């Protein structure tokens, strides 16, 4: 979803709100999505680890501090800059919270941060590249701008992303191998 919004988000805004918002609102959306692509893997993997440990209050405090920082920045800095050229400021606090959550989760797992990053990011990044290519083809090759084209792109991306994760990202994973579980899922659905 993050890649979809990063590539085709401005076109979606143009279809939904109006073409005059494609550039200004689209740029803000893209900046936010880059930040979330850094933040969400930490939130999706490291945060559940902390929520199931003795450190479950740590992320809550981090999110509260990040929210307070965002509120202060929005009121202090945002009051002086009230046009569409302003850049979202919450990406820095999200990165800080993500880094703190990552370090704390690694402490809980007694695993070095470098080992965690080597396990989580490279295969996911390589697995996302075909999806990014498909999105760029929809944007630059087909030049989709209407709801039907955006919906077709969304469905195609979900299918390709799912296949890439089942057959590449999780293939021969030391913790989970989804390909090995496919026969079990088929057997359970027939029962």
Q: What's the rounded Cα separation, in Å, for the pair 145 and 118? A: 38
pLDDT of residue 82: 45
Residue 157 has a pLDDT of 93
Answering whether pTM is above 0.75, one says: no
Looking at residue 86, its pLDDT comes to 47
Tens place of pLDDT per residue across the chain (191 aa):
888 888 888 898 888 888 898 888 888 888 888 877 777 777 777 777 777 766 667 777 777 777 777 677 666 655 444 444 444 455 566 677 778 778 888 888 888 988 888 887 888 888 889 999 999 999 999 999 999 998 999 999 999 998 888 888 887 777 777 767 677 666 666 65
pLDDT of residue 156: 94
Comparing CA positions, the residue from 172, 142, 138 lying closest to residue 156 is: 138
CB 12 within 8 A of CB 140: no
Lookup: tokens for 47: 């945060």
User: Long-range contacts for 40-45 (Cβ within 8 Å, ≥24 apart)?
Assistant: 40/2, 41/120, 41/121, 41/124, 42/98, 42/99, 42/101, 42/102, 43/98, 43/101, 45/105, 45/120
What was the pLDDT predicted at 25?
Answer: 86
For residue 16, what pLDDT is reported? 87
Transcribe 65-102 into DSSP letters: HHHHHHHHHHHHHHHH--STTPPPSHHHHHHHHHHHHH
Answer for the pair 171, 179: CB distance below 8 angstroms, yes or no.
yes
Q: Give the model's pLDDT for residue 79.
A: 45
pLDDT at 83: 44
Closest-CA residue to 10 (of 1, 39, 19): 19
Contacts of 28 (CB under 8 A, 6+ apart): 84, 87, 88
């Amino acid at each position: 979803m993050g890649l979809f919004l990063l590539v085709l988000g401005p076109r979606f805004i143009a279809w939904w709100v109006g073409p005059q918002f494609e550039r200004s609102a689209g740029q803000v959306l893209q900046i936010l999505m880059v930040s979330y692509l850094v933040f969400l893997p930490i939130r999706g993997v490291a945060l559940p680890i902390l929520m199931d440990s003795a450190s479950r209050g740590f992320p809550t405090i981090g999110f509260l501090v990040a929210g307070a920082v965002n509120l202060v920045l929005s009121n202090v800095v945002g009051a002086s800059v009230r046009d569409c050229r302003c850049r979202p400021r919450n990406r820095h606090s999200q990165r800080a919270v993500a880094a703190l959550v990552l370090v704390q989760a690694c402490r809980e797992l007694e695993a070095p941060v470098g080992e965690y990053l080597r396990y989580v990011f490279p295969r996911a990044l390589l697995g996302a590249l075909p999806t990014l290519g498909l999105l760029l083809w929809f944007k630059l090759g087909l030049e989709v701008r209407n709801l039907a084209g955006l919906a077709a792109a969304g469905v195609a991306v979900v299918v390709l992303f799912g296949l890439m994760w089942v057959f590449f990202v999780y293939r021969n994973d030391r913790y989970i191998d989804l390909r090995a579980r496919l026969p079990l899922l088929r057997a359970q659905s027939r029962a």
